[in-house]
Chain A
Amino acid sequence: MSRSPPLQTAPNIDVGKSITRGDWKVTTHKLPILNSTEIEAMTTALGISPPEMIFGNNSVDVTNEKLNWSISFNALDALELVDKSGESMLKVSYSEAWQKMRERVHEDIKEIVKPYDWTYTTNYQGTVHSSDRPFQQTGSEIPFDKLKRPDPILLFDDVVLYEDELADNGISILSVKIRVMPERLLILQRFFMRLDGVLFRLRDTRLFIEFETGEIVKQYQAREDTYANVRSGLYMHPPEQIPSLLRDDSFIAERLPVIEMERERVLLG
């Protein structure tokens, strides 16, 4: 239907990084958003329209060839887990008023185009490729005393996988931060969603790898609260600062109660 322009004009430069520590290889890929052809392919693969800013060629990969183990964080796999049934659909804050008006004026327009979770909420925790060693539930914490050490940071990167402005009703963003030190690494994949007037949502996956022992600890945490609750907790802040505070995922994260928590561990060594 659409005629994609037959041109290659966008710079297609990967500004990702790479580092090897022993048998561990860490690679990040950072490229522009997908072009129209790639978006069409992804739409077909997913069955839903991808987010507006879809960094489908970005990823964070950690591989250990010797142990035949790898984990990858990428947009396609994350979007596979988005609800496509429309069962968990949220509505924008003014939806009710809008619907009432619509029913008065255009009762004949009823078809909701492809109901799906348009906030692109995902409980994705990375894609693991492993011959035989699955994660096990664990009670142990990520050993963050080791992360407190003032070790040199050999590689740091912040990679966005996708982002959507929810048609100017807030923001959904899935990003991955990685920090590699001489003996270990930490990854934080964060899904952050603010639906204005409705809801805040956070899904954090933290992954810790100790290179020497092959110990991997993963922690998944879901946090959520209503917009009204978060907003009313900010009464002590000057009103003019509030819009920018509501955009700050780090600031908001601490104010959202935990609704779900999983800890898993695997020892590869």
Chain B
Amino acid sequence: MSDLDHAISLLRSCKPIPEPAVRELCYKARELLIEESNVQLVDAPVTICGDIHGQFHDLMELFRVGGDVPETNYLFMGDFVDRGFYSLESFLLLLSLKVRYPDRITLIRGNHESRQITTVYGFYDECLRKYGSANVWRYCCEVFDYLALGALVVGAGSFVGDENEECEVEVVGVGGDVVTRLKRRDDGAGLMNAANPLQEGGAGGGDGGTVGGPPGSGASGSSGGTKGVNNGAVLCVHGGLSPLVDSVDKIRLLDRKQEVPHEGAMCDLLWSDPDGNLFPLLSTLDLCHRKLTELEIDGWGLSPRGAGFLFGADIVKHFNHLNNLTLIARAHQLVMEGFKEMFDSSIVTVWSAPNYCYRCGNVAAILELGEERNGSGSGVQWSAGAGRGQGSGVARRGPGRRYRVFEAAPQDSRGMPAKKPVADYFLSFVNWVTFHPITHFTYLAPGTPKAPDFKLYYMLMNNQP
């Protein structure tokens, strides 16, 4: 058994590997990742996963539900670390699988794969606790800087399900039964129907947008008719779009090998969120007086937090159209149902941390994109006229999507750290009973003697369940 396989088997049982092994692994991973493009090309079939956040046992559940590496081809959209109890084991397992099976697993960077964020949200503390020094944290952070910023999935099929019952969307619930099947609407308008005339505002207008050109190239030429070219691609990023990035090529040009900056395109890709409220911001009067082209600008908004962008439906549709994409898959936001499609299925949030922070009670999901099937060509020609028939621009149809929903790993298998010791419980318990008489109504200057500490007394007095 090679060292790497040994490390993988240790990590699979949720055991940390020795510090020199981490260093070696991170070194190898960097060598591998440095060769990757900012936007990795990935062939379907692929299973797309969202945030993991150190929930190791739930990651194992994910592999149980979605298949193991290398049998299943995986794409993880970042946020491997922080918040959960096992950031280290989760990240190192994914990383060692990446080194072992580079073509079967793709890792892209989330906003938590950063020095600053991991210092605040737990990964740093965890490394310190498990190794007694920050070395392992440093090795991991160096790897973070080399992770790709996005991935482009090509060759995804248009349908899921068996030949007889081809569907656009299939939802496999907890337990493995199909709970929902949605047929593709073959009325030409596809999912981008005309329910809201604004929604197609960005899609090139009329007939000009015949789809073609390599996905993500920004070229919108005529249809080539070749498999993999004709189909739009799926862009995967952790957060979302950036006003500085109007084509996938612009992402390719970024210098990614650095700490996540507080501003700029790289930051936006990892941090921004779609927002369904952007249009209602405009008054009806506004809507009457503005042209659709102006509305596109309004599709960007500022977060009330004072930093960060929000983007609306038209931004996504416009971007998808220009870049020959049929879907943007992203993570970054907690969704109770594990996934959430927005803006007429032009973007989807995938969330893969069930019972987030061990208390939210949410389910998680992974998104499976199948392979293009031979012989079902007629069903997958995006630009073959069906969309044009409606005269509403080209209705590019999203890939067939299978969402597998799963719950948190059973409690007994998760090996949670023991409950807080009783003393701890009562300490915090006592804290909320005590009232600190001296601090009432007064500001305490630094160095002012504190009120007599009643804690110990209360602790002794109350120490019974």
Contact = CB atoms under 8 A, between A and B. Distances in A.
B300 A106 contact: yes
Contacts of A95: 305-307
B337 A89 contact: no
A269 interface: no
Contacts of A148: 433, 457-458, 461-462
Nearest to A188: B432
B302 A144 contact: no
Contact of B301 (A35, A94, A113, A258): A113
Contacts of A142: 435
Contact of A102 (B263, B442, B446): B263
Given A5-B180, A53-B334, A113 B310 contact: yes
B361 interface: yes
Contacts of A257: 439, 442-444
A243 B124 CA distance: 9
Contacts of B337: 4-5, 7, 9-10, 35-36
A254 B436 contact: yes
Contact of B461 (A150, A169, A204): A150
Given A109-B300, A114-B277, A258-B442, A9 B435 contact: no
A248 B297 CA distance: 43
B243 interface: yes
B166 interface: no
Interface in B246-300: 262-264, 271, 275-278, 281, 297-298, 300
Contacts of A116: 304
Interface stretch (A20-28, A61-69, A125-133, A160-168): A160-168
B237 to A, nearest CB: 16
Q: How large is the interface on A (under 10, 10 to 19, 20 to 34, 35 or more residues)?
A: 35 or more
A109 B361 contact: no
B14 interface: no
B320 to A, nearest CB: 16
Given A106-B243, A153-B465, A167-B308, A4 B340 contact: yes
Contacts, number: 208
A34 to B, nearest CB: 7
B363 A101 contact: no
B222 interface: no
B403 A35 contact: no
A98 B196 contact: no
A258 B439 CA distance: 7
A202 B356 CA distance: 24
A241 B231 CA distance: 52
Contacts of B179: 7, 9
Nearest to B334: A52
Contacts of A118: 303-305
A177 B432 contact: yes
Contact of A168 (B121, B313, B446): B121
Given A101-B264, A149-B461, A160 B336 contact: no
A52 B333 contact: yes
Given A1-B342, A94-B262, A160-B359, A113 B277 contact: yes
A266 interface: no
A91 B281 contact: no
B335 interface: yes
A171 B254 CA distance: 31
Contacts of A233: 446
Contact of B302 (A90, A111, A188): A111
A58 to B, nearest CB: 10
A108 B276 contact: no
Given A5-B171, A7-B337, A258-B439, A113 B307 contact: no
A46 interface: no
Given A32-B336, A110-B302, A250 B307 contact: no
A154 B308 CA distance: 47
Given A5-B403, A112-B301, A258-B442, A10 B336 contact: yes
A142 B435 CA distance: 9
B405 A7 contact: yes
B391 to A, nearest CB: 23
A113 B441 contact: no
A188 B357 CA distance: 23
A141 interface: yes
B217 interface: no
Interface string A241-264: 001100000100110011001000
A25 B168 CA distance: 51
A221 to B, nearest CB: 8
A109 B309 contact: yes
Interface in A163-215: 166-169, 177, 179, 186, 188, 190, 196, 204, 206
Contacts of B342: 1-2
Nearest to A109: B300
Given A111-B301, A168-B117, A2 B361 contact: no
Interface string B331-345: 001111111111111
Contacts of A134: none
26 contacts: A1-B313, A1-B343, A1-B344, A3-B344, A4-B337, A5-B341, A9-B173, A9-B363, A10-B362, A32-B362, A52-B333, A94-B263, A109-B301, A109-B302, A111-B302, A112-B301, A112-B303, A113-B278, A118-B303, A148-B457, A150-B462, A166-B305, A167-B303, A169-B305, A179-B433, A261-B440
> What 5 A-B pairs have minimum CB-CB distances, sorted nearest first?
A32-B361, A91-B306, A95-B306, A113-B301, A98-B307
Given A33-B334, A35-B336, 14 more contacts: A2-B341, A4-B337, A7-B173, A31-B361, A32-B362, A94-B307, A108-B297, A111-B281, A152-B464, A153-B462, A167-B303, A196-B120, A240-B125, A254-B436
Interface of A: 1-7, 9-11, 31-36, 39, 49, 52-53, 86, 89-92, 94-95, 97-99, 101-102, 105-106, 108-116, 118, 141-142, 144, 147-150, 152-153, 156, 160, 166-169, 177, 179, 186, 188, 190, 196, 204, 206, 233, 240, 243-244, 250, 253-254, 257-258, 261
